[in-house]
Amino acid sequence: MALHTLGCRLNQYETEAIRERFVARGFQVVPFTEKADVYVVNTCTVTNKADSRARQVLRRAVRLAPDATIVATGCYAQTNAEELLNIEGVDLVLGNAEKGDLVDIVLSREHDSSPKSYVTRRSEIRTFDDRLDVTAFENRTRATLKIQDGCDQFCSFCIIPWARGRHRSRPLKDILKQARTFLDSGYKEIVLSGVHLGEYGSDLKDSIDLIQVIEHILSIPELPRLRLSSIWPTDVTDDLIRLMQQHAPRFCRYLHLAVQHGDNEILRSMKRTYTIEETSSLLEKLTKKVPDICIGADIMVGFPGETDSHFQRMVDFLDRSPFAYFHVFTYSRRDHTRAAQMPNQVDLKAAQERSREIRALSERKTHDYNARFKETQVEVLAEERNANGQLIGRTDRFMKVEWVGEDHSINSFVTLKVEDTDHQGASGVLCTPEAGKKFL
The model's pLDDT over 65-90, given as tens digits with 9 standing for 90+, comes to 999 999 999 999 999 999 999 999 99
Q: What is the pTM of this model?
A: 0.92
Please spell the DSSP secondary structure of 80-110, one letter per residue.
-HHHHHTSTT--EEE-GGGGGGHHHHHHHS-
| Position 336 pLDDT exceeds 60 | yes
| Position 355 pLDDT exceeds 50 | yes
**Residue range(s) in the chain whose domain bears CATH number 3.40.50.280:** 2-120
| Position 437 pLDDT exceeds 50 | no
**Residue range(s) in the chain whose domain bears CATH number 2.40.50.140:** 377-439
Most confident of 153-162, 261-270, 330-339: 261-270
Least confident range of 65-69, 312-316, 386-390: 386-390
- Residue of 96 and 126 predicted with greater confidence: 96
| CATH superfamily, region 130-371 | tm_1862 like domain (3.80.30.20)
Residue type, 320: R
Q: Please report, for residues 34, 80, 154, 181, the alpha-carbon distance to residue 23 in angstroms, rounded to integers and kept in the order given.
A: 17, 29, 37, 18
| Position 317 pLDDT exceeds 80 | yes
Residues for the chain: how many in total? 440
Architecture of the domain spanning 377-439: Beta Barrel (2.40)
**Residue range(s) in the chain whose domain bears CATH number 3.80.30.20:** 130-371
| 45-65: pLDDT as tens digits | 999 999 999 999 999 999 999
Give mean pLDDT, residues 279-292. 98
- Residue of 130 and 422 predicted with greater confidence: 422
Q: Kindly indicate whether the domain formed by 2-120 is annotated with CATH number 3.40.190.10.
A: no
For the chain, what percent of residues have pLDDT higher than 90? 90
pLDDT (0 to 100) of residue 439: 36
pLDDT category of residue 433 using cuts at 50, 70 and 90: low
CA 197 to CA 272: how far, in whole Å? 15
Give mean pLDDT, residues 24-49. 95
| 233-242: pLDDT as tens digits | 999 999 999 9
Element of type H or E holding 288: helix 276-289
| 193-206: pLDDT as tens digits | 999 999 999 999 88
